Amino acid sequence: MSWYALWGALEIGLIYGLVALGVLISFRILRFPDLTVDGSFPLGAAVAATLIVSGWEPFSATLAATLAGALAGAVTGWLNVRLKIMDLLASILMMIALYSINLRIMGRPNVPLITEPTVFTLFMNESVPDHILRPLLILVVVAAVKFALDWYLGTQAGLALRATGSNPRMARAQGVATGAMVLAGLALSNALCALGGALFAQSQGVSDISMGIGTIVIGLAAVIVGESLFSSRRLVIMTAAAILGAVLYRVFVALALNADFIGLQAQDLNLITAVLVTIFLVVPLLRQRLRGRRRN
């Protein structure tokens, strides 16, 4: 595997790290099975790409995309809290609605950004090659988001959000407006996913309607890979683990792309990725067992 491919995996992994943080908030902290992600990730891409093409400055376009994601998350929360639609179904409804909404926003299925200015082109210079600069810039963004999130979840409001997830009745008894907390949590979660989508479109040079498919699966996989690496209940570690899990997942895909020398073919890619992740998850268990036997 070349360094170039590895930097690429790091870049895409870090972007999906934002999705993983979003999924961590909804699935783990709020315990809300939120599939809106499959729609909010391309929503971020669609809003950012459309605004950039129409002449917006890339940073404001990215910010607008993030806010659009927050709105989408809030609508899912509203469907669940106010209209009493079951959480999973509410998020599915929002996800499928967003497919059409994204098509409407873009006006066509594919908006290229190859020749447009992006948040990355503004930093480009001669001394650092693009393929290293982009992951470094994204690392700064992801790290900033991570620390901001760590801080927020330690504040009064953040603690109320966590209480809503772990024990809603208790939280209500303590005077927490759990409904508002669900709305806020989902808005935050989907804002991060949309930010990821906006950055992905700009790093990849295109916003395509199909790019949301399977986002939630990758986000969940990242969170779980991260958790199996560092099983901790400390928030600072949980958020770091989710980001690391997303990067590792992309490294596995990059590795699987290099597996052709052992006779595997293009169509085996997803299988190899799955096998690599499985091995990765099982090895600590095997080592534990081996150690246990030796002691006996």
Partner 1 sequence: MKWTLPAKKALNALDAGWAHTAAFARGVLAPALGAAALCLAATAAAHAQSVAVTSIVEHPALDAIKDGVKDALAEAGYTEEKGLEWQFQTAQGNTAIATQIARKFVGDKPDVIVGIATPSAQAVVAATKTIPVVYSAVTDPVAAQLVPSLEASGTNVTGVSDQLELARQVELIKRLVPDARKVGMVYNPGEANSASVVEALRQLLPTMGMSLVEASAPRTVDVGAAARSLVGKVDVIYTNTDNNVVSAYESLAKVGNDAKIPLVASDTASVARGAVAALGLDYYEMGRQTGRMVIRILKGEKPGDIPSETSDKLALHLNAAAARKQGVTLTSELRQSAAQVIE
| Candidate ranges 62-70, 180-188, 197-205, 235-243; the one touching partner 1 (CB under 8 A) | 197-205
CB of 184 to partner 1, least distance (A): 29
Burial 21-53 (b: 16+ CB within 10 A, else e): bbbbbbbbbbebbbbbbbbbbbbbbbbbbbbbb
Q: How far apart are CA 292 and CA 213, in angstroms?
A: 42
276 binds partner 1 per the rule CB under 8 A: yes
Taken in order 234, 236, 240, 242, is the CA torsion positive or negative? positive
Interface residue with partner 1 among 86, 88, 89, 110 (CB under 8 A) is 110
- Stretch binding partner 1 (CB under 8 A), from 112-120, 164-172, 176-184, 186-194: 112-120
Residue 257, both tokens: 């792309």
The stretch among 63-71, 185-193, 235-243, 275-283 that binds partner 1 (CB under 8 A) is 275-283
The answer to whether the beta carbons of residues 58 and 113 sit under 8 Å apart is no
| Site stretch for partner 1 (CB under 8 A), options 67-75, 143-151, 235-243, 261-269 | 261-269
Task: Tell me how far apart the alpha carbons of residues 39 and 94 are, in angstroms, rounded to a whole number.
Answer: 7
**Nearest partner of 174 among 185, 164, 186, 184, judged by Cα:** 164
Which residues make beta-bridge pairs with 60? none
Query: Any contact of residue 218 with partner 1 (CB under 8 A)?
Result: yes
- DSSP label of 33: -
Task: Quote the DSSP letter at residue 264.
Answer: -
Q: Which of 105, 119, 198, 253 binds partner 1 (CB under 8 A)?
A: 253
Q: Which two tokens stand for residue 61?
A: 């376009």
| Contact with partner 1 (CB under 8 A) among 175, 266, 292, 296 | 266
Q: Is residue 8 involved in binding partner 1 (CB under 8 A)?
A: yes
Question: Which one of 3-11, 145-153, 170-178, 181-189 is the stretch in contact with partner 1 (CB under 8 A)?
Answer: 3-11
**Which two three-digit tokens encode residue 39?**
């729609």
For partner 1, the binding residue among 23, 30, 195, 209 (CB under 8 A) is 209
Q: How far is the CB of 149 from partner 1 (least distance, A)?
A: 23
- For 70, the enclosing helix (H) or strand (E) is helix 58-81
- Report the half-sphere exposure of 99 (CA within 13 A, side-chain side): 11
List 232, 279, 289, 290, residue binding partner 1 (CB under 8 A): 279
23 scored as a contact of partner 1 (CB under 8 A): no
SS3 155: coil
- Judged by CB under 8 A, the residue of 16, 27, 32, 78 near partner 1 is 16
Q: Which of 215, 239, 216 is nearest to 227 (CA)?
A: 239
Closest distance of CB 275 from partner 1, Å: 11
Q: Which of 89, 109, 121, 152 binds partner 1 (CB under 8 A)?
A: 109
Q: Are the C-beta atoms of residues 186 and 66 closer than 8 Å to each other?
A: no
Q: Among residues 185 and 212, whose Cβ is nearest to partner 1?
A: 212
Q: Which residues bind partner 1 (CB under 8 A)?
A: 1-9, 11-12, 16, 99, 103, 108-110, 112-115, 131, 200, 203-206, 208-211, 213-214, 218, 229, 248, 250-255, 257-261, 265-267, 269-270, 276, 279-280, 283-284, 287
